């Protein structure tokens, strides 16, 4: 079993026991759907940090606002097409946050977009592993408030990695 397989199994267990699902959803939960692991979408990228990161208000699924700092951009290729995304930083905790919407949104993936937690590598680059892309909790239950990926992070290419939609989504 790979680290990714173990991660996915643990996530399914969490959704069955606690997680964002309603009790009725939990009873019929078959497990999340995922794209097969895609090594081509495990990226090590150099962030282009903004010299003076601005704090922005990111709209949420419930109409509230979440505060994030526009921290850096990352550039890479998907199927030989150059793309870039903005990486945000939580203003309270400092964690890096990458909300995005790809060309599969509303079909194979959640319509409002997905999230990815990115991590620093020892050499200053970032590990961007789209195999760990996940749906926000509001994809499963309207009781959650989730930041909506800003327009600058809408991609016209498909990211065929990570979590997909499932039958129980609303």
Confidence of residue 97 (pLDDT cuts 50, 70, 90): very high
Here the tokens at position 64 are 């509230």
- What's the pLDDT at 94? 87
CA 58/CA 44 separation, integer angstroms: 26
Rg of the chain taking only CA atoms, in angstroms: 16
**Is residue 147 a part of any domain in this protein?**
yes
Number of domains forming the structure of the chain? 1
The pTM score is 0.93
Determine the longest span between alpha carbons in the chain, in angstroms. Answer: 49
**Is residue 22 a part of any domain in this protein?**
yes
Query: Count of alpha carbons within 13 Å of 63, Cβ hemisphere only?
Result: 0
- What's the pLDDT at 168? 58
- Region 153-167: mean pLDDT is 93
For the chain, what is the total number of helices (H) and then of strands (E)? Answer: 2, 9
**Is residue 119 a part of any domain in this protein?**
yes
**Is residue 75 a part of any domain in this protein?**
yes
Q: Which of 5-9, 117-121, 138-142 has the lowest mean pLDDT?
A: 138-142
**Is residue 167 a part of any domain in this protein?**
no
Here the tokens at position 28 are 């019929």
Q: What are phi and psi of 33, to 5 degrees?
A: -100, 140
pLDDT tens sequence across 46-85: 999 999 999 999 999 999 999 999 999 999 999 899 999 9
- What's the pLDDT at 18? 87
Q: Which residues pair with 119 in a beta bridge?
A: 127
- What's the pLDDT at 126? 98
Closest by Cα among 122, 123, 126 to 86: 126
Q: Cβ of 135: how many Cβ atoms within 10 Å? A: 22
Closest by Cα among 117, 140, 118 to 46: 118
**Is residue 165 a part of any domain in this protein?**
no
**Is residue 159 a part of any domain in this protein?**
no
Domain that holds residue 95: 3-153
**Is residue 112 a part of any domain in this protein?**
yes
pLDDT tens sequence across 20-39: 999 989 988 999 999 999 99
């Amino acid at each position: 079993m790979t680290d990714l397989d173990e991660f996915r199994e643990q996530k399914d267990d969490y959704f069955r026991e606690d997680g964002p699902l309603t009790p009725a959803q939990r009873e019929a939960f078959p497990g999340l759907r995922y794209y097969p692991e895609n090594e081509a979408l495990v990226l090590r990228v150099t962030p282009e940090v903004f010299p003076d990161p601005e704090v922005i208000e990111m709209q949420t699924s419930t109409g509230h606002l979440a505060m994030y700092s526009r921290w850096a951009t990352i550039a890479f290729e998907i199927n030989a097409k150059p793309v870039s995304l903005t990486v945000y930083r939580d203003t309270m905790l400092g964690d890096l946050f990458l909300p995005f919407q790809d060309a599969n949104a509303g079909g194979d993936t959640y319509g409002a977009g997905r999230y990815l937690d990115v991590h620093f590598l020892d050499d200053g680059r970032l590990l961007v592993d789209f195999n760990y892309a996940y749906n926000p909790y509001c994809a499963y239950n309207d009781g959650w408030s989730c930041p909506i990926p800003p327009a600058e992070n809408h991609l016209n290419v498909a990211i065929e990695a990570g979590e997909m939609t499932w039958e129980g989504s609303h």
